[in-house]
Amino acid sequence: MNNEGEQLLGRLISGEVTDENDKEYFVQVSGLTFQLDKTEIKKPLKHGSHFTGFAYENEGHHLQMTRNAPKVMVDHYAIGEVVRVQHGLGVFVNIGLPNKDLVVSLDDLPEMASLWPQRGDRLMLAIKLDKKGRMWGDLADEGLFRVIAQPVTKKMNNQDVVATAYRLKLAGTMVITSDYHLGFIDPSERDQEPRLGQQLQARVISQYPDGTLKLSLRPRAYEAIGDDALMLLATLQHAPEGKINFTDKSAPEDIQDYFGISKGQFKRAVGHLMKERFAAQHDGYLWLTEAGRDHDGRTD
């Protein structure tokens, strides 16, 4: 392929229909011949007419044009879905072409293979060409995400969002939500580091001064502590002086008689409340803390 031909791929181009067979038309552009699948064309094309379509090299290494142009092109960024991982090469991304997936090179992926995108993950990318004219996936950078980001509002606090990880840093994970709001997940707000391109169920904690959402992958306290802990918390909230004469040292039969749960269940519930700092044990009592007093015990 000549240098001019290399600049045709990954773009919408126009050429002249010069020939055909039973399955394909052939379109000439700058001395190169591109195949065009006849099943895409409703009205037959005449020889000498012009056709505009998206140019690429298919998996069989043949030049091809399609009228069904993908959103992902040279200098045009859009979302593609990962369909295959090949260690030693990179990940293959479906951008909507019938016989060509775009490869994101391992050079552009995290050093740790465990953080590579997996099948079904989503990447924002465009097409770039190497010196041999081959098409590769070009991942969007931070600047692009800043450009497409939508402003946030205070009303978003405590909302659930779906977010996709687009940048992995030591300080945390940068994500973009399905509504194009930027978010950040601190390592303290997750159990494990998300993969690049992984879709996440997150909740909004607050907002940073620059308008980025502060997100958490951890459940809300009332979701995390469970029904037994909620029942115990409600008991504390209604108890005189915010204390009850039960601890993890109490007799199993006393716990069963009063709460209707086993001592094991009681200890787990107490542990959850103490972990969330809703309760504390001392002087032979279980005490309600200030945080527990303020907790509304919602379950929805």
Look up the CATH number of the domain holding residue 133: 2.40.50.140
Residues 141, 208: Cα–Cα separation, whole Å: 20
pLDDT reported for residue 30: 92
**Looking at 69-83, 259-273, 286-300, which range is the least confident one?**
286-300
Of 157, 186, 216, the one marking the end of a domain is: 216
Identify whether the C-beta of residue 226 lies closer than 8 Å to the C-beta of residue 233. no
What is residue 291's three-state secondary structure?
A: helix
What's at 234, amino acid-wise? A
Choose the final residue of a domain: 19, 44, 66.
66
pLDDT in the model for residue 223: 57
Q: Is residue 71 part of a domain?
A: no
- CA 40 – CA 27 distance, rounded (Å): 14
- Report the DSSP pairing between strands 50-57 and 135-139: unpaired
Q: Where are the beta strands (DSSP E) in the chain?
A: 12-20, 24-29, 32-37, 50-57, 63-66, 78-86, 90-94, 102-105, 122-129, 135-139, 160-169, 172-177, 182-185, 199-207, 213-216, 243-244, 279-282, 285-288
Q: What is the pLDDT of residues 92-114, one digit of tens each?
A: 999 999 899 999 999 999 999 99
Q: How confident is the model at residue 221 (pLDDT cuts 50, 70, 90)?
A: low
Question: For the chain, how many structural domains are there in total?
Answer: 4
Whether residue 291 has pLDDT greater than 90: no
pLDDT at 218: 83
Average pLDDT of the chain to the nearest whole number: 91
Strand partners, 201: 162
Beta bridge partners of 245: none
Among candidate residues 66, 95, 118, the one where a domain is terminated: 66
Q: Would residue 54 count as lying in a domain?
A: yes
